[in-house]
């Protein structure tokens, strides 16, 4: 899908689902070396830390977090000093209202070709959709594990908005995982607008967070005797 088509799809519908092949082309168009470190990028999910803030007491979510910024119309980002992730209770009734500190994303991951391509792509896309704004950017690496017959919940808060302008969710890999379907719904409620299961590397969902809510169904192990996990990158852009 060429970038102009993606821009009109998000303008028209408030979200877009992209297959890995399309996403790959868009990332390579955004950055010539994009994806050069893809194997290392994917492997970095093996080094995440437990999320200890889970309201349900679950130990199935691992993560790292980074905060960055971009000037209006810039195509590159700057890393900001490490800081907590904060969501208001209105956006996250389960985990909002407090500053949550997570381990920082490792610097080589942020500086790597894949992440630089993702940032360049997001700056271009979101800059077209919402021009002339500097951005507060957050990057999250998430691993949701299913253990035995116990499901993992990618979005324990249910259908929600992140409280930003735009969200990119990109699958890095899923191993021995069934289900985990991403659904979107108009921000005011009503019927679902669409759903898509991120199954292949680089499969992606992009949402206009002011207009639509998103959620992901629980993930289950296909073979409960084997490790099972779903790894995603989430990047959010909020106008400053
Ligand atoms: Fe979210």
CA 180 – ligand 1 centroid, Å: 14
Q: How confident is the model at residue 32 (pLDDT cuts 50, 70, 90)?
A: confident
User: For 141-193, how does the pLDDT look when each residue is reduced to its tens digit (9 = 90+)?
Assistant: 999 999 999 999 999 999 999 999 999 999 999 999 999 999 999 998 888 99
CA 214 – ligand 1 centroid, Å: 6
What does the pLDDT average to over 117-138?
Answer: 97
* SS3 state of residue 77: coil
CA 124 – ligand 1 centroid, Å: 21
Q: Is the pLDDT of residue 72 over 90?
A: yes
Q: How confident is the model at residue 127 (pLDDT cuts 50, 70, 90)?
A: very high
Q: Which residues contact 207 (CB under 8 A, 6 or more apart)?
A: 14, 15, 166, 167, 169, 184, 214
User: For 218-227, how does the pLDDT look when each residue is reduced to its tens digit (9 = 90+)?
Assistant: 999 999 999 9
Residue 184: closest CA among 215, 211, 153, 163: 215
CA 32 – ligand 1 centroid, Å: 29
CA 161 – ligand 1 centroid, Å: 6
Mean pLDDT for the chain overall = 96
CA 137 – ligand 1 centroid, Å: 14
> Tell me, what's the pLDDT at 188?
87
Q: Which pTM was predicted? A: 0.97
Q: What is the percent of the chain where pLDDT is above 90?
A: 95
Q: Which residues contact 174 (CB under 8 A, 6 or more apart)?
A: 180, 198, 199, 219, 229, 230, 231
Concatenating the DSSP letter of every residue in 100-146 gives E--PBPPHHHHHSHHHHHHHHHHHHHHHHHS-S--EEEEEEEEEEEE
Please name the helix (run of DSSP H) or strand (run of DSSP E) that holds residue 154, with its range, or none. Answer: none
Q: 10 Å Cβ neighbour count for 156?
A: 20
């Amino acid at each position: 899908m060429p970038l102009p088509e993606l821009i009109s799809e998000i303008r028209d519908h408030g979200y877009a689902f992209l297959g890995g092949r399309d996403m790959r082309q868009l990332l390579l168009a955004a950055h010539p070396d994009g994806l050069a470190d893809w194997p290392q990028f994917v492997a970095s999910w093996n080094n995440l830390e437990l999320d200890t803030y889970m309201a349900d007491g679950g130990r199935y979510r691992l993560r790292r977090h980074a905060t960055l910024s971009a000037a209006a119309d810039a195509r590159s980002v700057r890393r900001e000093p490490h800081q907590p992730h904060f969501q208001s209770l209105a956006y996250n009734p389960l985990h909002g209202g407090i500053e949550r500190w997570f381990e920082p994303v490792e610097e080589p991951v942020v500086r790597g070709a894949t992440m630089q391509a993702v940032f360049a792509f997001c700056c271009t896309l979101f800059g077209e959709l919402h021009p002339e704004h500097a951005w507060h950017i957050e990057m999250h690496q998430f691993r949701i594990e299913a253990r035995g017959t116990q499901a993992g919940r990618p979005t324990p808060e249910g259908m929600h908005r992140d409280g930003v302008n735009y969200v990119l969710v990109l699958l890095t890999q899923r191993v021995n995982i069934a289900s985990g379907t991403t659904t979107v719904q108009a921000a005011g409620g009503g019927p679902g607008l669409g759903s898509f299961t991120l199954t292949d590397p680089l499969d992606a969902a992009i949402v206009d967070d002011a207009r639509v809510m998103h959620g992901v169904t629980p993930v289950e192990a296909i073979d409960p005797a084997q490790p099972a996990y779903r790894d995603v990158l989430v990047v959010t852009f909020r106008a400053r």
